[in-house]
Amino acid sequence: MPVSVLIVDDSPIARKMMRRSLPPDWDITIQEAVDGAQAIDIYRKGGVELMFLDLTMPNIDGYGVLEILQAEGLNCIVIVVSADVQPQARARVLAMGAIAFIPKPVNPEGLQEVLRQYGILV
């Protein structure tokens, strides 16, 4: 079964950069959301297993998405991908249920390492 991945970022280039950093031979299906509100819609339809979430976005930002996910049982793995790499931002999202924080620009090796660490990628 392919893993269902949702990439949430308001920037098309950022979404493209994110896709390119994923392991090329990984068996996944990818959906994209352009803001937090759309991400929540897709999440609520069910089936999303892994979410790459940007923080600075219009219509519900990354923090807002995490808040809603937490309230609704956090039924997926969230990895925050953000240009805001301050330690406070990292601490904040980890406290809100994200399993990892990856700084932009995404480094493919670093990403794979995180995915392996959490047993998402074998």
Partner 1 sequence: MNKGLSEDQTDALQELANIGMGQAGDSLARIWKEFVHLSIPKIAIVDASRLPALIHGFVGDTAVSASRQAFHGGFRGEVLVVVSAKDRNGLANLMGYEGQLDSVEREEVLLDIVNLLGGACVGGIAQQVNAEIGFSAPSLIGEDIDPLDVIHPDQLAIDKALSLEVCFQVENRSLTAHLVILLPNNEVGALAELLDQFLCTL
Residue ranges that bind partner 1, judged by CB under 8 A: 10-14, 16-17, 20, 56-58, 82-89, 103-105
Single-letter code of the amino acid located at 55: L
CB 88 within 8 A of CB 69: no
Provide the minimum distance between the beta carbon of 11 and partner 1 in the complex, in angstroms, as a whole number: 5
Q: Read off the DSSP letter of residue 29.
A: E
Residue 52: burial class (beta carbons within 10 Å; 0-12, 13-18, 19+): buried
Judged by CB, which is closer to partner 1: 14, or 48?
Answer: 14
Judged by CB, which is closer to partner 1: 9, or 51?
Answer: 9
Judged by CB, which is closer to partner 1: 71, or 86?
Answer: 86
Whose CA is closest to 103, among 54, 65, 61, 68? 54
Q: How far is CA 24 from CA 5, 18, 19, 75, 85, in A?
A: 14, 12, 9, 26, 26
Provide the minimum distance between the beta carbon of 46 and partner 1 in the complex, in angstroms, as a whole number: 30
Judged by CB, which is closer to partner 1: 32, or 77?
Answer: 32
Provide the minimum distance between the beta carbon of 10 and partner 1 in the complex, in angstroms, as a whole number: 7
Provide the minimum distance between the beta carbon of 19 and partner 1 in the complex, in angstroms, as a whole number: 9
